[in-house]
Amino acid sequence: MNPSSASDTPLPDSTGAFGSIRGDATRAGMASSADETMGSAHAAVHRMAQAAHEAVDRLEQTLGAGSDRVMDWQHAYGEMARDQVRANPLVSVGIAFGVGVLLSRLFVR
């Protein structure tokens, strides 16, 4: 055991004539390899985030166009239903009553 060692491990130090040079070179190689790995990981994460952002944008455009069509249909059929109710109010009340009775019988059981 090396008496100048700061750790209390029973393993010998590798601070021989070539040990520290080899260790420094290995650490430098590992650091550069780690830097390259981190750089490529960062680039991959950036590409994935960009792809996800583009997919969300496309989905938003698709849903926006679809919701506009649904709103247009709702407006058109709503106007048509209002016109029918104004033209035939008693028939509308009778249909509403019949649908209410039918739904109550379905859900009460």
Please name the residue that has the structure tokens 């190689």. Answer: 29
Beta-carbon count within 10 A of 31 CB = 10
Boundaries of every domain in the chain: 19-108
- Which are the contacts of 4, defined by CB distance < 8 A and separation ≥ 6? none
Give the residue-averaged pLDDT of 7-21. Answer: 53
Does the pLDDT at position 75 exceed 80?
yes
pLDDT band of 66, cuts 50, 70, 90: confident
pTM of structure: 0.37
Which stretch, 3-7, 15-19, 96-100, has highest mean pLDDT? 96-100
